[in-house]
Structure formats: C-alpha cells, structure tokens
A and B are shown apart, each in its own frame.
Chain A
Amino acid sequence: MAMIRLEHVNKYYGQGATRFHVLHDINLQVAAGELMAIIGESGSGKSTLINIIGFLDDDFEGNYFYNDQAIHDYTRADFAKLRNQHVGFVFQNFKLIRDISIAENVILPLLYAGVGRRQAKKTAARVLSRVGLGGYDDKLPTELSGGQQQRVSIARAIIANPDFLIADEPTGALDTKTSQEIMDLFKQLNQTQHTTIIMVTHDPRVAEQCERVVKIIDGRIVDDRKVGGN
C-alpha cells in the first residue's frame, strides 16, 4: 500500500491571464521505506512538487491521499499538524533560526507537539549524537560549518520520528566531500531506521545513490525508474 498517493495533481501560480501552469497532471505513489530522488532542471517544478508532498503547500488541484486519508480537503491548521507529526524537512540553506542554540533549533518540532522542554532537550542530545554532533547542543548555528548546520537540520527533521523526510537540494550548498557525508547519513537513516526519504537534487552523483529516481521536465513526470542504489 502506498503511503503517499497523488492523483491528477495540477498546480498553477498566479491568476487570470498570467496564470502559469507549473505541474501537469502528476500521478505519483511513494511507499514507506523508499529512498527517492526527484531530478530536473531548475524551474521544472520539482520543488513545487515536494512542497505539495510535504504538506507545505495546500493550494493545488487534484487528490492527495496520505495513508488513504484525503488530505486535499484539510484546513490550514490540519496541515500544520500533519507537518508536525508526519514529515521532517531538510532545506538547501539549512533554515536554522540564527539567534537560538543548536538544541533550541532541534527541539522546535517537539515543542510544537506539546512535549516539555526538559524531555525535548534530552531527546535532542540523543539525536544530535546520532547525526555526529554530540556535545554541540549549546552552540549557535553561526559557529558551525555548512555540513554541520545541515546535520543540525537533519537532526531537527528526524527528532519527532516523522514518517518521511523531504530534502530540497540538501547538498546544494555543500562541497563534494561534505555532500557525500550527508548522503551517507541519509542512506544510514533509510537503512537502519527505515525512514522514507524524498529528495530533490540536480546532482547526478547524489541521485544515483537513491533507489528510485523520478525525472521532471516542465512540470511533467517523464521518467520514473528503480536504480540500484547502494
């Protein structure tokens, strides 16, 4: 059974005569435990697609069934709850709040889920050491390198045990070596924790390490194939 099922999803930007058709009739299913890459040129609509998949964008046409729930009918507040409980985000530019500590950043999803600060901080320490940043709790994001900041962002994404991760160009701002470290971390999460990961990338070296690659050109899925992964 597919965890994520998109049926005839269309997405437009703007209105009236200047309306721009970004996604054309997207049909896509993602099963639990997959490590999937979405590739395409910039402007092809791949980010728009994962924003919809990740419950960031509730303004689209078509049907989105999440574990067979028809979430295209949900309200804005429902979407906030979905984001909080079911998905973790990793962004290209990390998106950490700059004037609060690493631990404070990481515990945000737990705080919004209603967990107490003390409990959340314990969990954060554990998750930070899992991503290789044990003991960095009280540092500020600006004191860390790009690769380390991306690890913090991954720690934040996985702290609430989401069903899947959305990663938008997670290695886009990192050098080759650091990119590989982050990819190793994703693969490790996928293999040991069976975390479903959907990432957008235009880096072929990153894409070829995934099990499944979906290619988008001009808002249409043109290719969807299993690759070996490793």
Chain B
Amino acid sequence: MRNAELLRSALQSLRANPKRSFLTTIGITIGIAAVITILALGNGVKKRLSDEFNTTQNGEQYTYLYFTPNDSQSAASGFTETDLNAIEERFGAKVKKAAISHETNNASVSPLVGNERVNNATISLFKRPTSKISIIAGRNLTTNELLTEEPVILMKESLAKKQYQTVQNTVGTSVSIGDHDYRVVGVYRSQANTYNDNKYGADLIGGTKLFYSGTTATTGYGIKLTFYQGANAGKVTKKIKKYMEKKGTSAHDGTYMAVDAGAELTKVNNMITGLTAFISAIAGISLFIAGIGVMNMMYISVSERTQEIGIRLAVGAAPQNVMAQFLLEAIVLTVGGGLLGFVIGWLLAGIISNFMPYHIHAVITLNSFLLAFGVSASVGIIFGILPAKQAANKNLIEILR
C-alpha cells in the first residue's frame, strides 16, 4: 500500500470519531503548549540579554555609571577626564575602557523649555534626519542642519502641549540644554516609551554632533564602563561607584548611580530558567499521562475495529500494513495535538510577554517547532506501537469466524 493511502485511511478513521480523537489530544496539546510558552519567553529574555545589554558580541560586558547633581542649576561637571583616568588606573585589571557615555537613545537631560526647567526629560540624538517619527507641526530636521550643527531641535507632542497648550505655538520656541540654546522647528507625534526602550519616543530629538560638542565631549553625567571578559562587572561597578563617591570630581555636588541592566535581566533569566525546569517537568508528566490516554484509546480502537482488521487482512493487507495504519493513527493524533499546542504556546507566550518587564518579546525558533513536532511524534510512536502490534497480530480465523 502506498504511504499516502496509509495516511489517508488513518485520517479517515480518526475523523470517524472526532470527539474522541480531540479529547485524546488535549493532554498532548497542553503539555506542548506549556513547554513552547516557557521556551519562547526564556528565549526572549536571552535574546534581550545578548542583544541589548551587558554583553557585546565578543563577550565583553559593559555597565553605566550616572551622576545626578543635587541641584538642577548646579554647575557640577559630573565625570571629567580626571575621573576617567583615575578609574582606568585603579581598576585597569578589570576595566578595559571608561568613557563619557555619549548616549544617543533616550539620554537623560534637564532642559530649560521656555523659562521652565523640565527634569527627567529624555533626548534621542541622530546623525541624519529620521523618518520613523511623524511630524504634526513645523518640519523635520534636515541633513544639512545636522551636519553644520545648527541649533535646531524637535519636541514631542505631549511635552509641547504641556508647555505651550498647542503644537502650533511650540514651533519657534527655544529649549536650552547644557551649553546650547536650540530652536524648536517641529513637533512629532508621541510614541510609547514605557521602559525608555524606544528612541523615537523620547521627549526631544536633536543632532548628535552639536549635542556632544564643547564641554560635553570631555565631561558628562554618564560614563560607560567596558569590562574584560570574565570580570564580575556588577561587583566592580559598585566598587567604582564607591570610589567615585569618595574621590570623584563632583563627589560633593551630587550622587552616583550604577546601572547594570544586565543584572536585572539575569535575575529574570534565572527565574525563567528555574521555571523552565519546573514547567518542563509538569509538561513531561502531562505528556506521559496523555501518552497513556493515547495508548488506551488505541487499544479500544483496535478491539472495536477487529472486524475491519480482519477484512483488511483478508483482502491482502500484510500484518505490517495493519500495524503501520494503527501506528500512523496514533502519530497523527499526537502530532496534531502537538502542533495545536505549538500554536497555542506561541500565542500564549505573545500575550504573556506584553506583561513582562524590559520589553521582552516571545521568541519562537525553528528548534521550538522541531521540539514540539519531535516530542509529539515520539509520544505517538512510544504509546502507539503496542496497540498497533496487537492489531497486526490478531488471529484472522478467529476474527472472521
């Protein structure tokens, strides 16, 4: 018998009992869905870890140290070259490089908007005009302006409305940040920016070149520390923070804060890894029980369809044809359940990731698919083989009598 025919008759007999077939697959579906969900979230966390934070491609880690002045009008310079040299000298064994952080995505600033100081504002900096924002008043920045360091800037809709009521009023007003006074040439529509992870959602958008010219080139409120491979970045960063609190140039004018985004994510990662083991164990039990359900159903099916088996054997089916048919039925059942579980797991992971911190996305890989397919097919084979053998070894004479 051709393989396509075997598959066809397997599907045919499963369709004859749709409710029973469906109920039998539920266990497999739940087991696979649970595993896929947790794997997708775990992969999401790992991807976020390696993509965004803490680890560069060659395995180096980096952290940030920020200075916040006590007084927002303060003239404190934050980190200076003196500080950087001191850090490199003292922690040179671990720290490969300490540099003023020229953050371009959602850098923290305290601009003077009109006459009012706005604390905790963010600015994203670009070398070329971006088309990922939609201008609702005025115009976008031009390539030429950014190149020639024109003091022009764009403001977010929400900030503009708060300060000037309408976006039209905002165009032409001035914003001062650090040494520079900027003219607002356009207002763009607000975008979501919950975890400061969307650079197009910052309060202000300006040019990189002008922003980091003058004193901001050698001093700044943030430094980026790059560590040698294997160094305990989190621990050393804390030591550097303590050192700066004692000996830093601006130690008396403000406070220091270490940001090790990787450490936070590592916590989440560890939690997910633990959860993965736990859920995998539960899923394993679920799959085992589901497998026994499949076996039970196949035994029932074999005894219900004794006549059919006899007829097939009588018209010339070889015992292995009959065995293949019943085995295939079990596999179709479990793989069907497994693929359904895969889809449900995918959707579930997508939904759950909306409620996860740090903007973690569910990541489904080809391996997850192969795992779902492989595990469910194996369950079908393992728990289907005995009933299928029983079907193939039925005594033809006794059936037909």
Contacts and interface: CB of A to CB of B under 8 A. Distances in A.
A97 B307 CA distance: 8
Interface in A101-144: 108-109, 111-114, 116-117
Interface stretch (B205-213, B314-322, B361-369): B314-322
B396 interface: yes
B16 A84 contact: no
Interface in A70-116: 76-77, 80-81, 83-85, 89, 91, 95-97, 99-100, 108-109, 111-114, 116
A109 to B, nearest CB: 4
Nearest to B307: A95
A7 interface: no
Given A56-B397, A111-B1, A95 B314 contact: yes
Interface in B20-38: none
A57 interface: yes
B132 to A, nearest CB: 55
A51 B397 contact: yes
Contacts of A47: 401
A156 interface: yes
Contacts of B380: none
Contacts of A160: 316
B312 interface: yes
B319 A76 contact: yes
B2 interface: yes
Interface in B117-142: none
A99 B16 contact: yes
Contact of B316 (A96, A112, A117): A112
A111 B5 contact: yes
A109 B315 contact: yes
Contacts of A99: 12-13, 16
Given A97-B308, A100-B12, A112-B1, A84 B315 contact: yes
B345 interface: no
Interface residues of A, number: 28
Given A112-B321, A114-B2, A80 B316 contact: yes
Q: Which of B310, B313, B396, B401 has the most CB of A within 10 A?
A: B396
Nearest to A162: B316
A97 to B, nearest CB: 5
Nearest to A168: B400
A127 to B, nearest CB: 14
B352 interface: no
A76 B318 CA distance: 8
A222 to B, nearest CB: 24
Interface of A: 47, 51, 56-57, 76-77, 80-81, 83-85, 89, 91, 95-97, 99-100, 108-109, 111-114, 116-117, 156, 160
